[in-house]
Amino acid sequence: MFLKRIELFSLFGFRVSLDLSWVFLAVLVTWTLATGYFPDALPDQTTATYYWMGVAGAIGLFVSIILHEFAHALVARRYDLAISGITLFIFGGVAEMTEEPKSPIAEFMMAIAGPVLSFALAAAFYLFEASTHTAMELPQFSAVLSYLALINFVLAVFNLLPAFPLDGGRIFRSIAWWWTGSLARATRISSWLGRLFAGAFIALGLLNLIAGNTIGGIWLMLIGFFVYNAAGSSRMQMAAATLLKGVPLSRVMRSNPASVPADISIEALVEDYFYKLNHRFFPVLGDGDLKGCIRLDQARDIDRSQWRATRVSDVMTPLSEANILDVGYDARAALEKMMTGSGSHYMVTSNGRLVGVVTPKDIMAYLAIHLELEADAVDGLSRARGST
């Protein structure tokens, strides 16, 4: 989801980060406020004044979104849900849960906390503007406060749409979970509803483009595509949490993988392994022990004139916690480690001995097949685990 995150600060034990895509949003919001919203709301000001008002409005929106996400995070902590941090990105912000809620009430309370906080901020900004409008005689300040009251109200209402994974979609999922007794089934229903709303956003965006509202149309379409993809990935995450838990890593790994000796040349590696076996990755053995691994790109980066003189051991990636998984892992834990790591291939070991290799693609292929064939089984597993 995120491009590159910059950690800003920590508060109440939560890390707050800024995705680089937020910079685009901040610039767009400032420009839109300075050239459109504030000139209409408060005519006859200088261009510099409008841009300072735009910057103030963008900062106020920034703080409002952080507070909205903190409301989610603090309620999640109340229900023992782990939140790894809060990240602001182009479509707003997200409190990053590392696990699914444990009960429908936990899901409901966490989801509704954000919109409630946004409604409270809208009321606070409105009352503050009303109380200072005549006393301070600063129409620019009042206009910014009015904007922040409006944008928090819009933020709350928009998030209450039942388009999973928006807050309203999570509220809907909590109700469906309570009704059906199955988190998996509730996720499937709410994901379908989320994609329906996503289609409506995209269609509305196209209509705006046809009508000449280019910026509004593009934003609606981008939001639609974001909701559509997020709804699908949320369903996949739910299926992964349910279907992969307890599945031995040996079920999804490729057993008895081909390996290469550490002392052969890169030329021999390319001719006898990459070309003949059509693999892009090989474990490396030396004196019968696992020493590391080598990838196609590592060989490619060596000047061809040096292939005969360079040994595999000279350029391989040494064995480390970053590229091995113990066979005792289950598939869910293995996938979680892969998602937080930087590698695409992992060697599976048992008591230090190579027994297989696995990639996220291997696990996702297993998941896709079982998701298609065992939807009812997912519901049953989710219901059973929810009652324990």
Concerning whether 69 is annotated as a catalytic residue, the answer is yes
Q: Are 78 and 162 in contact (CB under 8 A)?
A: no
DSSP symbols for 318-354: EP-TTTEEETTSBHHHHHHHHHHSS-S-EEEEETTEE
| Distance (Å, whole) CA 120 – CA 37 | 23
| Distance (Å, whole) CA 87 – CA 369 | 33
Active-site entry in 69, 100, 107, 129: 69
Residue whose structure tokens are 């919109």: 115
Give the helix/strand (H/E) hosting 258: none
Please list, in sequence order, all residues whose beta carbon lies within 8 angstroms of the beta carbon of residue 91, skipping any fewer than 6 positions away.
Answer: 25, 222, 223, 226
| Distance (Å, whole) CA 26 – CA 18 | 11
| Distance (Å, whole) CA 113 – CA 37 | 29
Q: Are 174 and 105 in contact (CB under 8 A)?
A: yes
DSSP symbols for 49-65: HHHHHHHHHHHHHHHHH
Question: What percent of the residues of the chain are helix, what percent strand, and what percent coil, each to the nearest 5?
Answer: 65, 15, 20
Using CB atoms within 10 Å of the CB of residue 46, give its burial: 0 to 12 exposed, 13 to 18 middle, 19+ buried: exposed
| Distance (Å, whole) CA 90 – CA 94 | 11
Residues of 53-68 as b/e, b for ≥16 C-beta within 10 angstroms? bbbbbbebbbebbbbb
Q: Are 184 and 176 in contact (CB under 8 A)?
A: no
State the virtual CA torsion across 356, 323, 245, 226 in degrees, nearest 10.
-120
Ramachandran angles phi, psi of 213, nearest 5°: -90, 80
Give the helix/strand (H/E) hosting 264: none
Ramachandran angles phi, psi of 148, nearest 5°: -65, -35
Residues labelled as active-site residues: 69
